[in-house]
Amino acid sequence: MNDTGKEREKVPAHETPAANNNVEDATEAPVATEAVEPSAETRVAVLEAELAEQKDQLLRALAETENVRRRAQREREDVLKYAVAGFAKELLSVADNLRRALDSLPESEARDERTRGLLAGVAATERELLSVFERHGIRRIDPDGERFDHNLHQAIFEAERPGKPGGVVIEVLQPGYLLHDRLLRPAMVGVAKENQGPGEPAESASTVA
C-alpha cells in the first residue's frame, strides 16, 4: 500500500456538519408596540383640569383661614367686651344698698338740713355709680309698667291690679342689669294677673314658682 492509501484511511468516513449558529430554533418574540403620544389638545385639557383643582383647593384653604381669623377676632372681642362681668356682678350689691338707703328715708321726710345733705350725697353716689356702669356697657333694668319678659325678668309673685292688664309688671322688687346684650341679673318683679270674670272669687297675691 502506497502513501496515498494510508492518508485516505486516516480521513474519517463521515464528518458531522457544524451546527449553523445563525439558525434560531425558537420562534421570534413579538415586536413591542410603540406607545402613542397624547395629542396637544389632550395634554392641555389635563393641565387645565389639574390647574382648576389646585385653584379650588387654594380658594378653600384661603376661605378656611379667613374663617379662623374672624372667629379668633370675635372671641378676642368677646373677651374684652365681657371681661368686667365678674367684677360688675360684685358691684351690683353696692348699687342695691345705695338704693335701699334712699328708699328708707324719702327726701320729703327729712327733718333737718344735715339729713337732707346726707340723702343728696347718697343720691349723687348712686348716680355716679350708674354713670360708671353705663360707660362700661352695664345698663339697669327697671321694668315697672312694662310687659313681663322671661328673658329679662324673674316673677316673684302674681297679683290682681285693677286697671292693669295681665302680664304687666306692677312692682319691681330688685332691678336687673345687662352687660351689653348679656344678662347679668334678671329684675325681680311682681306681675299682674289676668282679670277674673264677674262670678269668680278674687284670689290673694300668690308667689310664682
Tell me: pLDDT of 204 over 70: no
**CA Rg, the chain, in Å?**
51
Identify the structural domains of the chain with CATH numbers, from first to last.
139-209 (2.30.22.10)
pLDDT value, residue 197: 56
Q: Highest mean pLDDT: which of 70-79, 107-116, 143-152?
A: 143-152
Residue 57: CB atoms within 10 A of its CB come to: 10
- 207 falls in which pLDDT band (50, 70, 90)? low
Least confident residue range of 68-72, 95-99, 153-157: 68-72
- 208 falls in which pLDDT band (50, 70, 90)? low
- The whole-angstrom separation of Cα 188 and Cα 78 is 27
The C-alpha cell that represents 162 in the structure block: 285693677
Instruction: Determine the residue type at 174.
Output: Q
pLDDT digits (tens, 9 = 90+) for 16-26: 454 454 444 54
More confident residue, 76 or 17: 76
Please give the mean pLDDT across all residues of the chain.
81
Tell me: pLDDT of 134 over 80: yes
Tell me: pLDDT of 37 over 80: no
- The whole-angstrom separation of Cα 180 and Cα 84 is 11
Q: What is the mean pLDDT of residues 82-101?
A: 91
Contact between 143 and 177 under an 8 Å Cβ cutoff? The reply is no
pLDDT digits (tens, 9 = 90+) for 139-195: 999 999 999 999 999 999 999 888 888 899 999 999 999 999 899 999 999 999 987
Contact between 182 and 85 under an 8 Å Cβ cutoff? The reply is yes
pLDDT value, residue 33: 53
